[in-house]
Amino acid sequence: ETGVTQTPRHLVMGMTNKKSLKCEQHLGHNAMYWYKQSAKKPLELMFVYNFKEQTENNSVPSRFSPECPNSSHLFLHLHTLQPEDSALYLCASSQPDKKNTEAFFGQGTRLTVV
Amino acid sequence: LAKTTQPISMDSYEGQEVNITCSHNNIATNDYITWYQQFPSQGPRFIIQGYKTKVTNEVASLFIPADRKSSTLSLPRVSLSDTAVYYCLVGDSGTGRRALTFGSGTRLQVQP
């Protein structure tokens, strides 16, 4: 248990569906991240939020829409996805104003687009 | 961003010591070196972090030479459960993103 909780753990959705991934942390962290990890590939940083403000968007397609209503919650809204979007989606949090902070990851959501 | 270079894969046997070296020639003065472990279908897990010299915890040791252009993660007496991907990250945690850009990592396979 890392203190970062992601739901759901598994999700199967059609290309025309709309779904949302949820991430929650009660570690008091002010930075939250979304990563995508395709099969046997490195983690790809998608979005970064610092103090609820989006500070990084790594050229992610608009069919992925993040939302950070407060420092403890992060969502990833999904719509009209493609099969190649099937992957493990990981959320992480850290305290960016600490010099030697470590990041805590959730268990991830395994997404399959059919 | 300081780029890191690690071996793609390593093999070992149970009970052996494993050393994984990471090169980071462009490390900046404010950068820390952090290692994570990732099992299949799970999020990465923090192992150890250091700035210079040697750091040891209950899981591993981290050796950093004086020039800080490389670092070595040392896993003593590995077991089958240490089979995982190990990532070396270099960055200044104060900026958030720089500290959490992952490279390809080193896939460690421990054999019985």
Report which listed range, A2-6, A92-96, B6-10, B29-33, is most confident: B6-10
Report which listed range, A15-19, A41-45, B71-75, is most confident: B71-75
Q: Closest to A100 (Cβ–Cβ): which among B42, B93, B101?
A: B93
Confidence of residue A59 (pLDDT cuts 50, 70, 90): confident
Please work out, in degrees rounded to the nearest 5, the angle formed at the alpha carbon of residue B72 by the alpha carbons of B71 and B75. 150
- 3-class secondary-structure state, position B107: strand
How large is the greatest C-alpha to C-alpha distance in chain A, in angstroms?
A: 44
Pairs of CB atoms within 8 A across A/B: 72
Average pLDDT (A22-30) is: 93
Q: How far apart are CA B12 and CA A87, in angstroms?
A: 29
Q: Is B44 within 8 Å of A43 when comparing Cβ atoms?
A: yes
- Specify the pLDDT at position B62: 98
Q: Is A90 within 8 Å of B104 when comparing Cβ atoms?
A: no
Confidence of residue B74 (pLDDT cuts 50, 70, 90): very high
Q: In a 10 Å sphere around its CB, with 0-12 CB exposed, 13-18 middle and 19+ buried, how is residue A36 labelled? A: buried
B31 or B111, which is more confident: B111
Residue A31's closest CA among A104, A108, A109, A110? Answer: A104
**Chain B partners of A101 at a C-beta cutoff of 8 Å?**
93, 99
Q: What is the tens place of the pLDDT at every residue in B45-56?
A: 999 999 999 999
The shortest C-alpha distance from B78 to chain A (Å) reads 23
Suggest the residue from B32, B97, B102, B107 to mutate for an interface test with chain A (most A CBs closer than 10 A).
B97
- Specify the pLDDT at position B100: 73
Q: How far is CA B8 from CA A42, A74, B15, B102, B104, in A?
A: 11, 32, 22, 13, 7
Confidence of residue B108 (pLDDT cuts 50, 70, 90): very high
The shortest C-alpha distance from B47 to chain A (Å) reads 9
Which residues, in sequence order, are CB contacts of B72 under 8 Å at separation 6+? B19, B20, B21, B22, B62, B63
Mean pLDDT, all residues of chain B: 90
